[in-house]
């Protein structure tokens, strides 16, 4: 069955704060109010709300329930939550809008990483028998992936530094970014390893923040927005959990998601990739077949501001922003969950 056209008609995001004293519901409400104002809608117009967050990050059981305060849940609303990046909440809202009985949906995502130590926390998401007892942390996993890439001869440490250098430069234009700067690869390569072969610049600036998107059916979108951004395809695919059972130097799930989302139908001008480590951008570019003519991460990408759980939704916003302002005719947004790009979502956006 061909999908009904759904468009993005508004968005909001907090800055990607290194550390915010605002609570997660406060961050979410800030983003939600901005998105609703941008779309020019009232919250009572919304037919479905879906959010993405992770209770482990803030350390509060059922923290996601309090986040609903940010959507205005009285009188009762129809809503859902995914313990995943907000890009998957957007996917669920997109599916919900296919039913045709409602015409507006709110998607929001949030994460507060600052209260926890992720080297201690993230092993808890791994298989509890073989991986978690090792204390296998995200930095070590990403370093293993980077090492595989180097040993396969698919990239060099200079390639990693070039990704970081370009991202930091692009982030100077992004008021929401956590870090930015003018540093060339030579300067970056002079730094010590954070976790060999990764240096600090290869690791995303983990942040606190929230983001929100308003989705509308095509008819409603044309009433609301001068330049609605249409979702031409959205798909996600997952690979096996055990990193030892995958080829870490490529991403078959990202490639398959892109194929099914229709990436090959027409070339894209811009790609926003949720690469939390610089080697992952190289892997994704290759897996998605993105050539030199595609502008990758004009926002600075996840590397320069990574509000974990909202990072993928922010990629969709950044891609939509370029389509809406006409700087891209067609754009790709990517989101990822799990370790070493285990689970990937690809969303293709176009103007009317």
Partner 1 sequence: MSDTKSEPVVMDHLVTLTYVEDLPPNTVRFADALVRGRILGQRCPQCQRIYVPPKGYCPLCVVLLGEEHDVEVGDHGTVTGFTIVAPVRYYGQTKTEPFVYASILLDGASGTLGGQDVSGIPADKVRPGMRVRAVWKPAGERTTEGQTARGWGSVEGCISSFEPSGEPDVPAEEYREHVI
Identify which range of 81-89, 121-129, 162-170, 319-327 contacts partner 1 by CB under 8 A: 121-129
Q: Which positions ≥6 away from 14 have C-beta within 8 Å?
A: 20, 27, 30, 31, 176, 209, 210, 211, 307
Based on the shown chain and the rule CB under 8 A, indicate whether residue 72 belongs to the binding site for partner 1: yes
Based on the shown chain and the rule CB under 8 A, indicate whether residue 172 belongs to the binding site for partner 1: no
User: Are 212 and 3 spatial neighbours (Cβ–Cβ below 8 Å)?
Assistant: no
**CA pair distance 99, 113, nearest whole angstrom:** 35
Closer to partner 1 by CB, 127 or 186: give it.
Answer: 127
Instruction: Give least dist CB 117 to partner 1, A.
Output: 6
Identify which range of 58-66, 144-152, 194-202, 267-275 contacts partner 1 by CB under 8 A: 58-66
Tell me if residue 256 falls in helix, strand or coil: helix
- 249-254-257 Cα angle (round to 5): 155
Among 77, 102, 121, 352, binds partner 1 (CB under 8 A): 121
Q: Which positions ≥6 away from 303 have C-beta within 8 Å?
A: 163, 164, 167, 168, 201, 202, 203, 204, 205, 275, 276, 277, 278, 281, 297
Based on the shown chain and the rule CB under 8 A, indicate whether residue 104 belongs to the binding site for partner 1: no
Among 58, 251, 253, 299, binds partner 1 (CB under 8 A): 58
Q: What secondary structure letter does DSSP report for 154? A: S
Among 99, 120, 127, 190, binds partner 1 (CB under 8 A): 120
Binding mask 15-54 for partner 1 (x = CB under 8 A): ----xxxxx-xx--xx-xx---------x-----------
Based on the shown chain and the rule CB under 8 A, indicate whether residue 110 belongs to the binding site for partner 1: no
Q: What secondary structure letter does DSSP report for 306? A: B
Instruction: Give least dist CB 81 to partner 1, A.
Output: 16
User: Are 85 and 110 spatial neighbours (Cβ–Cβ below 8 Å)?
Assistant: no
Among 71, 143, 155, 340, binds partner 1 (CB under 8 A): 71
Based on the shown chain and the rule CB under 8 A, indicate whether residue 63 belongs to the binding site for partner 1: yes
Closer to partner 1 by CB, 48 or 88: give it.
Answer: 48
**CA pair distance 163, 281, nearest whole angstrom:** 8
Based on the shown chain and the rule CB under 8 A, indicate whether residue 124 belongs to the binding site for partner 1: yes
Tell me if residue 106 falls in helix, strand or coil: strand
Binding site for partner 1 (CB under 8 A): 19-23, 25-26, 29-30, 32-33, 43, 56, 58-60, 63, 66, 69-74, 114-117, 120-121, 124, 128, 133
């Amino acid at each position: 069955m061909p999908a009904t056209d759904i468009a993005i008609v508004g968005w909001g995001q907090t800055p990607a704060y290194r550390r915010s004293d605002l609570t997660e519901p406060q961050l979410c409400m800030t983003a939600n109010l901005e998105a609703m104002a941008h779309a020019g809608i009232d919250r009572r117009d919304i037919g479905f709300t879906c959010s993405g967050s992770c209770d482990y990050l803030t350390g509060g059981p059922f923290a996601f329930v309090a986040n609903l305060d940010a959507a205005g849940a009285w009188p009762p609303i129809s809503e859902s939550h995914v313990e995943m990046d907000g890009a998957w909440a957007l996917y669920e809202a997109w599916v919900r809008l296919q039913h045709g009985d409602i015409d507006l949906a709110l998607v929001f995502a949030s994460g507060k990483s600052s209260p926890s130590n992720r080297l201690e926390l993230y092993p808890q998401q791994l298989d509890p028998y073989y991986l978690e007892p090792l204390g296998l942390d995200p930095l070590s996993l990403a370093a293993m992936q980077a090492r595989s890439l180097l040993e396969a001869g698919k990239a060099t440490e200079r390639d990693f530094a070039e990704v970081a250098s370009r991202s930091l430069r692009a982030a100077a234009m992004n008021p929401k970014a956590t870090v930015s700067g003018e540093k060339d690869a030579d300067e970056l390569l002079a730094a010590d390893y954070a976790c060999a072969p990764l240096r600090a610049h290869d690791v995303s600036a983990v942040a606190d923040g929230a983001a929100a998107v308003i989705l509308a059916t095509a008819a409603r979108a044309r009433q609301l927005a001068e330049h609605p951004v249409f979702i031409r395809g959205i798909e996600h695919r997952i690979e096996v959990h055990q990193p030892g059972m995958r080829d870490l130097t490529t991403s078959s799930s990202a490639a398959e998601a892109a194929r099914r989302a229709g990436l090959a139908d027409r070339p894209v001008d811009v790609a926003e990739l949720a690469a939390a480590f610089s080697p992952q951008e190289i892997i994704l570019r290759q897996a998605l077949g993105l050539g030199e003519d595609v502008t990758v991460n004009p926002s600075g990408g996840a590397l320069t501001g990574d509000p974990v759980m909202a990072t993928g939704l922010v990629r969709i916003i950044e891609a939509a922003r370029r389509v809406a302002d006409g700087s891209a005719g067609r754009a790709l947004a990517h989101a990822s969950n799990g370790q070493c790009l285990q689970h990937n979502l690809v969303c293709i956006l176009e103007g009317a």
